[in-house]
C-alpha cells in the first residue's frame, strides 16, 4: 500500500472507532433510555477541548498564539479520563434543567437550544477554548518517545483507538445487558408505568445522561488527539443528527446494530461522496450529502423504524432459572404459586 492509501485507511479506522464509541453512548441515552439528546455533539466537543487543553501544556509552549483553560501536559490516557469527567459534569449541569420538563419533546428542544447556545458561548469566550479559531497543535500521545514515521505512528494510533473502543464496549455491554438497562427501557416505553413500580424516572434519566455524556467526551478526546486540532466547525448541531441517523439505521438499543449504522452512515455514505464524479461545485455536493442523510432517516423511520438490526428479544429464565423452577415444582405444584407476589400484612 502506498503511504497515502495507508494513511487514508488509518484515518477511516480511527474515525470509525471514534464514531462507534460516540454512537454507543448516544444509543445508551436514546435507544435504551429514550432521552432525545439533541445536544449530543456538545459532549463530544467538551471531551475534545478538555483533552486538547490537558495535553497542550502552557500556551507559551507553542508561542502563545492560542488561549485556553485547564492547561496541562498529561500523559495518555489521563487526558481522556479528564475528558470523561468533564463530559459527565457538564451532562449533570445541563441534565438538571434540560431533563426537567415532563414532556420529552420539550427536553429535546431544550437540548437543541443548549447545543446552539454553547457554540455561540465558546466562540464568544475566546479565553475558554480559543473561540472560533479553536485549538491546534494538539500533541499525539507518545509520538516523541516512539519516533515512528507517519504511517507507523498512524497504525499505533489505530491500536490506541481500538483499545478505547474495546474498553468502551466492555462498559457498554455490561450496562446494556443489566437489570438497570431493563428499568431504563421500562421508563422509555412508559414513564408513568415505570414510576408506578417504584422507578425514579427523573433520576435514572439524569444518570444515563451523565454516563452517556462522559463516554461521548472520551470519543471527542480520541478524535482530537488524532487530528490534532478542534474548532467550533467540528461540532455544529447537525453532527448530532448524523449520530442519530447512524443509530436509527443500525437499530436502536442494539450495540451491534449501532456499529453497522456507523459503518453505513459515517463511513460508506460520507466517503462514497468522494468518489462521485464532479458534476457540480463542491458546496452543492456537500448539500446533496445532507439531503441524502435526511432522506435516509425518513426512509428508515417510515419503512423500517426498528433499523437493520432490531433490539433483541431477551428470553429471561431460559437458563438457570428454569432449572430452579423445575426443582421447586417437584416439592409441590401449588406451593410456589399460592400468594405469589402478595405481601399481606
Partner 1 sequence: MRDDVVGPIVEISDVRCHFGGVKAVDGASFALQRGRITGLIGPNGAGKSTLLNSVAGSLRPTGGTIRFEGDDITGRPPHEIARSGLLRTFQRSSEFGHLTVMENLVAAAPGCRGTTVLGALRSKRSWKTDEDAAVVEARALLERFDMWEKAHDYAGELSGGQKRLVELMRALMARPTVLLLDEPFAGVLPSLVRRIERHLMDLRREGLTMMLVEHDLGTIERLSDHVVVMANGRVLAEGMLSELREHRGVIDAYLGG
CB of 186 to partner 1, least distance (A): 5
User: Considering the rule CB under 8 A, would residue 103 count as an interface residue with partner 1?
Assistant: no
7, 153, 156, 180: residue in contact with partner 1 (rule CB under 8 A): 180
User: Considering the rule CB under 8 A, would residue 331 count as an interface residue with partner 1?
Assistant: no
CB of 194 to partner 1, least distance (A): 7
User: Considering the rule CB under 8 A, would residue 197 count as an interface residue with partner 1?
Assistant: yes
User: Considering the rule CB under 8 A, would residue 100 count as an interface residue with partner 1?
Assistant: no
192, 281, 291, 303: residue in contact with partner 1 (rule CB under 8 A): 192
Closer residue to partner 1 (CB): 283 or 331: 331
196, 274, 291, 330: residue in contact with partner 1 (rule CB under 8 A): 196
Instruction: Please state whether 198 falls in left (phi above 0), alpha (psi between -120 and 50) or beta.
Output: left
User: Considering the rule CB under 8 A, would residue 247 count as an interface residue with partner 1?
Assistant: no
Closer residue to partner 1 (CB): 144 or 192: 192
Query: Mask of contacts with partner 1, 251-280, x by CB under 8 A?
Result: --x---------------------------
User: Considering the rule CB under 8 A, would residue 167 count as an interface residue with partner 1?
Assistant: no
Q: How far is CA 339 from CA 4, 329, 330, 334, in A?
A: 71, 15, 18, 10
CB of 149 to partner 1, least distance (A): 40
User: Considering the rule CB under 8 A, would residue 315 count as an interface residue with partner 1?
Assistant: yes
User: Considering the rule CB under 8 A, would residue 207 count as an interface residue with partner 1?
Assistant: yes
199, 229, 260, 263: residue in contact with partner 1 (rule CB under 8 A): 199
CB of 92 to partner 1, least distance (A): 13
Give the C-alpha separation, 324 to 84, whole Å: 42
How many Cβ atoms sit within 10 Å of the Cβ of residue 291? 9
Closer residue to partner 1 (CB): 279 or 344: 344
Task: Tell me the number of residues near partner 1 by CB under 8 A.
Answer: 50
6, 151, 169, 311: residue in contact with partner 1 (rule CB under 8 A): 311
Closer residue to partner 1 (CB): 28 or 138: 28
CB of 29 to partner 1, least distance (A): 13
Handedness of CA 118, 124, 125, 131 (dihedral sign): positive
70, 85, 195, 263: residue in contact with partner 1 (rule CB under 8 A): 195
Give the C-alpha separation, 255 to 286, whole Å: 29
Reading the block at residue 11, the C-alpha cell is 484515518
User: Considering the rule CB under 8 A, would residue 198 count as an interface residue with partner 1?
Assistant: yes
The binding site for partner 1 (CB under 8 A) comprises: 171, 174-175, 177-183, 185-186, 188-190, 192-201, 207-208, 211, 253, 311, 313-317, 320-321, 324-325, 328, 336-345
Amino acid at each position: 500500500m502506498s503511504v497515502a492509501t495507508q494513511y487514508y485507511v488509518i484515518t477511516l479506522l480511527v474515525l470509525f472507532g471514534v464514531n462507534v464509541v460516540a454512537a454507543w453512548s448516544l444509543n445508551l441515552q436514546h435507544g435504551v433510555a429514550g432521552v432525545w439528546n439533541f445536544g449530543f455533539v456538545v459532549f463530544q466537543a467538551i471531551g475534545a477541548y478538555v483533552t486538547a487543553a490537558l495535553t497542550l501544556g502552557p500556551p507559551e509552549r507553542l508561542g502563545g498564539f492560542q488561549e485556553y483553560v485547564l492547561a496541562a501536559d498529561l500523559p495518555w490516557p489521563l487526558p481522556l479520563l479528564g475528558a470523561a469527567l468533564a463530559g459527565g459534569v457538564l451532562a449533570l449541569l445541563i441534565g438538571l434543567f434540560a431533563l426537567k420538563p415532563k414532556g420529552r419533546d420539550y427536553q429535546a428542544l431544550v437540548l437543541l437550544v443548549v447545543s446552539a447556545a454553547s457554540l455561540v458561548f465558546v466562540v464568544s469566550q475566546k479565553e475558554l477554548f480559543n473561540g472560533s479559531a479553536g485549538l491546534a497543535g494538539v500533541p499525539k500521545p507518545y509520538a516523541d518517545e516512539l519516533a515512528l514515521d507517519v504511517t507507523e505512528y498512524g497504525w499505533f494510533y489505530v491500536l490506541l483507538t481500538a483499545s478505547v473502543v474495546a474498553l468502551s464496549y466492555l462498559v457498554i455491554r455490561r450496562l446494556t445487558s443489566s437489570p438497570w438497562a431493563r428499568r431504563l427501557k421500562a421508563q422509555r416505553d412508559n414513564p408513568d408505568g415505570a414510576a408506578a413500580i417504584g422507578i425514579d424516572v427523573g433520576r435514572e434519566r439524569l444518570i444515563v445522561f451523565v454516563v452517556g455524556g462522559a463516554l461521548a467526551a472520551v470519543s471527542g478526546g480520541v478524535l482530537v488527539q488524532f487530528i490534532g486540532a478542534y474548532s467550533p466547525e467540528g461540532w455544529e448541531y447537525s453532527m448530532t443528527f448524523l449520530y442519530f441517523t447512524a443509530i436509527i439505521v443500525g437499530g436502536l438499543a442494539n450495540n451491534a446494530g449501532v456499529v453497522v449504522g456507523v459503518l453505513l452512515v459515517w463511513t460508506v455514505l460520507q466517503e462514497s461522496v468522494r468518489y462521485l464524479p464532479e458534476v457540480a461545485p463542491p458546496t452543492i455536493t456537500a448539500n446533496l450529502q445532507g439531503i441524502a442523510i435526511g432522506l435516509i432517516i425518513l426512509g428508515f423511520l417510515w419503512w423500517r423504524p426498528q433499523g437493520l438490526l432490531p433490539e433483541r428479544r431477551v428470553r429471561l429464565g431460559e437458563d438457570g432459572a428454569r432449572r430452579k423452577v423445575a426443582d421447586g415444582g417437584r416439592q409441590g405444584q401449588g406451593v410456589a404459586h399460592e400468594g405469589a407476589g402478595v405481601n399481606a400484612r
